[in-house]
Chain A
Amino acid sequence: MKANPKDVRTGVFYIDGDVAAAEGALAAGCKFLGGYPITPSTEAAEAFARRAPQVGAMFIQMEDELGSIATVMGASLSGQKAMTITSGPGFSLMMETIGFGAMLEIPFVIINIQRSGPSTGLPTRTGQADMMQARWGSHGEYEVITLSPDSPQESFDFTIKAFNLAEKYRAPVMLMSDECVGHMTEKVEIPEADKIDLEPRRLYKGPKDKYIPFKPDKDLVPPMVKAGEGYRLYLSPLSHDQRGHPLLSQKSTTRRIVDKIRLNADDIIETKEDGLDDAEVVVVSYGITSRVAYRAIEQARKSGIKVGIFRLITVWPFPDKRITELAKRVKGFVVPEINYGQIVFEVERCVHGNANVVLVPHGGGWVHNPDDILGAIKQIMKAKKRYEGIFEYKTELEKLIFGSGVQKK
């Protein structure tokens, strides 16, 4: 299915990542945004609100984030592609309903323009500390898909991809952007509608009386119907059987909402690799951090160290297999992230003790200094053993604040 030309603002623009994400949503055919203003995501909601009447989309500013995410659930079940846009504190408030959406297998997209926390933190500054929350934030067991853009162009592209994945897998999909990408203004090329592929909703096509709401297809994803078409749907967030009826048993559909992502992970996972053929050190990064990493890699290559980049486009599901494979032939991994260590532990898990792992932490507010990533690369080159554990690199800033020295975790 191709995008509708009415929804796509084809052209070359100089816009920020927030606005690009809103344009991406509209191009993907999103017709509903339930939002609540929160810095640094407001530009995205504003852009959507401006364009919504032109394309027959609905924007409503709800009374809070609890409400805005709940409207998204209703709108999606009414048959429209729907999303919400938020940041840290709002994202926290949405957690319960994210679990609800996962349980009822509602396709929806959340754009999280991450800022620094905890709590109010640094509202106007960048952060990447919601990565684990994105996966584990709601109680109970479920799986999500997240995408991390590093530019306004990717904000546009990945928002479309997010809607496609949401429709394909009937799962929560999150665009885990950040303040830096959100407020970065760059060239964004919006292609013509016939160049944009969209995943249509998996609509049930059989006889009306034979419809079983949670009976999956071969890929473990069940087809859907819209509310108001006479199917007499009953959807409940209680653990349920295929008919949707509450079931106090392990036979409920909960296992499948985990499996449908895990078992399809190879189809979902997207990464970008650069210079890994001869690399001795691999920088694993995602979002804005990968752009800083490129600078460090350039410098390292100039000084003769063979470094490559492994960029996570989908942080969740995590590309375990590839990292395990790389660990067998490289000296180590450097993981810069704007938090005190989240994805680094995933990397360490996949390394299976075959290579060193160094975290380059950042408390948030700014992006890394490339020299710190370079320093961590050099630290790996100096390592005496194949595996000495997981290290935290003391950045220049940290040294300034907390004194010098490399600390073993």
Chain B
Amino acid sequence: MKNVKHPMDFYLRMDRMPHIWCTGCGIGLTATAFVAAMEKAKLDTNKVCVVSGIGCTGRFAGYIKLDSFHTTHGRAIPFATGLKLANPELKVVVVSGDGDLISIGGNHFIHAARRNIDMVVICVNNFIYAMTGGQVAPTTPLTAYTTTSPYGNFEPPSNIPQIAESSGAVYVARWTALHIRRLTNSIFEALNKPGFTVVEVISPCAQYYSRINRLGDGLDMMKFYHENSQIKHWEPTDNLYIDYQKEIIVGKFVDRERPTYSESYKKWLAE
């Protein structure tokens, strides 16, 4: 067995294994989907950069064997913007969590989408700040318990696809971590689409979110999200709020054309 290689070895830093993610976490599945999409996309792997912020998903870059960068909290998108603008040949993929991209990095998310910078953003949404021990996040559903909302969350959560669409993203999809085939396909489509593309992945936090809300182990949660999700392509994004332990609408919601930042810049230069 020693000489048998895992088919995804080419894309993974096997010298960094075992990874730090908990059993039952959806980030590993997101990595699987990403690698599968990369294989399918047949891009020049030397030119693909993966950028992550801070948090559980922030560790994503550390396990992917491409040029990969672990950055500061919230700054994955502007860091990736710098990489891309200074070398337009690069294909830049940002993989980070909901807290990193939507809370502390929310402003960058909005403006990178507005500029339509060529970038794939994979946002792993686990409804909580997990790396720090399960605090309330801007995505925590109403009434859910967290360590900093010990009496239940009363703040309405962010609707990530709606923020993405209204800010100008050209491709927006959402899947749960167990929709591996569909998720892979969406990441593949996003990789091939010029402009700012967003794929949200609903992932169980089998430790902090589960424990305090008594939702069972990772597999239970994964199955629950999968079974309670309804595929509704092209659903208006204002219908995509996620309620606590209720139905989750998944699918591809936005796929449109807008000139990218690089295209607009080149055109403006020529004029």
Contacts and interface: CB of A to CB of B under 8 A. Distances in A.
Interface of A: 31-32, 34, 53, 58, 60, 62-64, 66-68, 70-80, 82, 96-97, 100, 226-238, 245-246
B182 interface: no
B108 interface: yes
A233 B66 CA distance: 7
B75 interface: yes
Which range holds the interface residue count of chain B? 35 or more
Nearest to A74: B82
B196 to A, nearest CB: 14
B111 A100 contact: no
B82 A70 contact: yes
Interface stretch (B24-32, B83-91, B139-147): B83-91
B210 to A, nearest CB: 26
Interface of B: 13, 15-16, 45-47, 49, 51, 61-62, 65-75, 77-87, 89-90, 107-108, 110-111, 269
Given A66-B75, A73-B71, A74-B82, A227 B87 contact: yes
B46 A73 contact: no
A336 to B, nearest CB: 37
Nearest to B65: A232
Contacts of A66: 74-75, 78, 107-108
B46 A245 contact: no
Given A60-B81, A67-B108, A73-B79, A78 B71 contact: no
B87 A32 contact: no
Given A228-B46, A233-B67, A32 B78 contact: no
B76 to A, nearest CB: 8
Contacts of B73: 96
B95 to A, nearest CB: 14
Given A73-B71, A77-B69, A227 B79 contact: no
Contact of A237 (B72, B89, B107): B72
13 contacts: A66-B74, A70-B71, A71-B85, A73-B82, A77-B69, A78-B86, A96-B73, A227-B87, A228-B47, A232-B67, A234-B61, A234-B62, A235-B68
A71 B82 CA distance: 4
Nearest to B20: A246
Nearest to A235: B69
A300 to B, nearest CB: 49
B81 A63 contact: no
B269 A53 contact: yes
Contacts of A80: 86-87
Contacts of B82: 32, 34, 70-78, 82
The 6 closest A-B CB pairs, nearest first, are A74-B82, A71-B82, A75-B86, A78-B86, A70-B78, A74-B83
A176 B6 CA distance: 53
B91 to A, nearest CB: 9
Contact of A233 (B16, B68, B71, B79): B68
Contacts of B87: 78-80, 226-228
Nearest to A56: B269
Contacts of A31: 86
Nearest to B115: A60
A275 to B, nearest CB: 46
A236 B85 contact: no
Given A74-B80, A77-B83, A228-B49, A236 B72 contact: no
A174 B66 CA distance: 32
B75 A97 contact: yes
Q: Which of B13, B51, B86 has the most CB of A within 10 A?
A: B86
Given A68-B78, A232-B65, A79 B86 contact: yes
Contacts of B86: 31-32, 58, 74-76, 78-80, 82
